[in-house]
Each structure stands twice: as C-alpha cells, then as structure tokens.
Structure 1
Amino acid sequence: MDEQDLLERIQALVEEEHRLRDAPLDDESMGDNSDNRARLAHLEAQLDQCWDLLRQRRAKKDAGENPDEAEARPISEVEGYRQ
C-alpha cells in the first residue's frame, strides 16, 4: 500500500467514523447502540494502525530507506502508544 492508498484508506475510515458519530441515537437503520460503539472502537483501532504505518513510511523515506518496507504493526501494539 503506497502513501496515497494509505491516505485514501484513512479518509474512508474517518468518514465512516463521522457518519456513526453523527447518526441519531434512535435511528433504527444504524442498528443497536452497542453495535455502533463496537464499530467505532474498531474504526479507531484501524485508524491508529493506519496512522502508525503512514508515520513509519514517512520516517523510512526521510532516512533514505525504502518506505515500502514499512509494515503494519498489530493493533494491540499501536493501541498502547501514548499520544
């Protein structure tokens, strides 16, 4: 996945996150609130993973290394990072 693909993936995840957060709580089409919370948590984890991969790619490029060698780290790892 190149940087442009990664940025497009991040944008799609952010758009879905906004749709879920902006949905009326009583909208039956959005399903159960617990389902929405679970989906939001999953989206947030995926976003953390994507941002981490993007930072890795950019750091490798800045260091003169091949950014394509960057690999997505497990969600359990990137979720533990401090902001």
Structure 2
Amino acid sequence: MTQDSDILERITALVTEERALREQSEHRLTPEERERMRAVERSLDQCWDLLRQRRARDEYGQDPDDAEVRSTSQVEGYRQ
C-alpha cells in the first residue's frame, strides 16, 4: 500500500537528483549521466501520474490504493 506521502518523498528525491544532474552542463554529462537523467524524468512522470490517479480516485469516493503505476510509454504519451 502506497501513501501519498511516500510518493511525494520519492518525487522530492528524484527532483533533488535531477537538479544535481542539471547543475552540470549538459555538454559535460557522460552518456551514463544523460541516460540517468532520462530515467529520472520518466520516473517523475510515473510518480506524478500515480499521485494524480490516487487523488482522483479519492475525490470520487474510490479506493486510492487501487491506483497503479502506469508504463512509461503510456505516461509519456499523454498530451500536456
């Protein structure tokens, strides 16, 4: 069972890592660091999506614990 606070803690950790990577010049990132940046961004998308699902389910009287992490391809395919 995931709580919103757990998701928010994960988001905070990922944002901290993302900022640390961004502080380095994009030109100086190694291929591994660039891949890690992409992985962090994908994870953030999934975390935000899960949090939105949980909050929507709660708002409409459904069990937030039924929300599931969606695939990165599905989450990244959403229109902004």
Question: How far 1:34 sits from its partner (Å)?
Answer: 1.2
Regions of 4+ moved over 3 Å: none
User: Gaps spanning 5+ residues in structure 2: where?
Assistant: none
2:77 counterpart residue number = 80
User: Quick one: distance in 2 between partners of 1:43 and 1:79?
Assistant: 13
- Counterpart CA distance in 2 for 1:2 and 1:42 is 23
Q: 5+ unaligned residues in a row in structure 1: which ranges?
A: 27-31
Counterpart in 1 of 2:37?
40
Equivalent in the alignment of 1:29 = none
Alignment of 1:17 onto 2:14: no
What is the aligned residue count?
A: 78
Partners in 1 of 2:18 and 2:10 — Cα distance? Answer: 12
- State the distance in 1 between where 2:45 and 2:78 align: 9
How many angstroms apart in 2 are the aligned matches of 1:21 and 1:7? 21
Q: Which of these residues, 34, 45, 50, is aligned with residue 47 of structure 2?
A: 50
**What are the Cα deviations for residues 13-69 of structure 1, in whole angstroms up to 9, with x where unaligned?**
00000001113565xxxxx62111110000000000000000000000000111011
| CA apart distance, 1:76 | 1.1
Q: What amino acid does structure 1 have at the position aligned with 2:17?
A: E
The alignment-based identity, stated in percent, is 53
Return the TM-score normalized by structure 2. Answer: 0.90
Query: 1:45 is paired with a residue of what secondary structure?
Result: helix
CA distance in 2 between counterparts of 1:7 and 1:33 reads 28
* Aligned mates of 2:3, 2:24 — CA distance in 1: 32
Q: Which amino acid aligns with 2:31?
A: S
TM-score normalised by structure 1 residue count: 0.87
Tell me how far apart the structure 1 counterparts of residues 3 and 74 of structure 2 sit (CA, whole Å).
Answer: 22
Amino acid aligned to 1:59: A
